[in-house]
Amino acid sequence: MRLSAKFTIKLVKASNRFNINSQAKYVGTGHADLNRLMNIQRDSYASYIGHYPLLAYFAIAENESIGRECYNFMQKILLPCGLPPERGGYTLAWYISYV
């Protein structure tokens, strides 16, 4: 038995609406540009920031202040692989203002 095109479109829209709501409510529920390992990495950095003794351990190990280490972890959460290479006319200032 084949489903009509109209019913299939409605089913897809309902599925997308559910995914958008769950992504707004729960951070780690998937994203088109992130894979499973990126979610694990971001969750780990958030855990390091949230647990002060672990953050202090990393700060001592890297000979940095705790605030600097916290800042570095937050930067790794936002841009895990660094800035993307410049393409066609976009500059670093444009990218930073866009993000």
Domain-embedded: residue 23: no
Q: What is the mean pLDDT of residues 18-27?
A: 60
Helices 52-61 and 36-50 cross at an angle (nearest 10°) of 100
Domain-embedded: residue 67: yes
Domain of 70, in residue numbers: 34-80
Express as a percent the part of the chain with pLDDT over 70.
Answer: 49
Specify the DSSP class assigned to residue 34.
B
Query: How many Cβ atoms sit within 10 Å of the Cβ of residue 16?
Result: 10
Determine the pLDDT at residue 78. Answer: 83
Determine the pLDDT at residue 36. Answer: 78
More confident residue, 76 or 11: 76
21 phi/psi in degrees, rounded to 5: -65, -40
Domain-embedded: residue 57: yes
Number of domains in the chain: 1
Domain-embedded: residue 52: yes
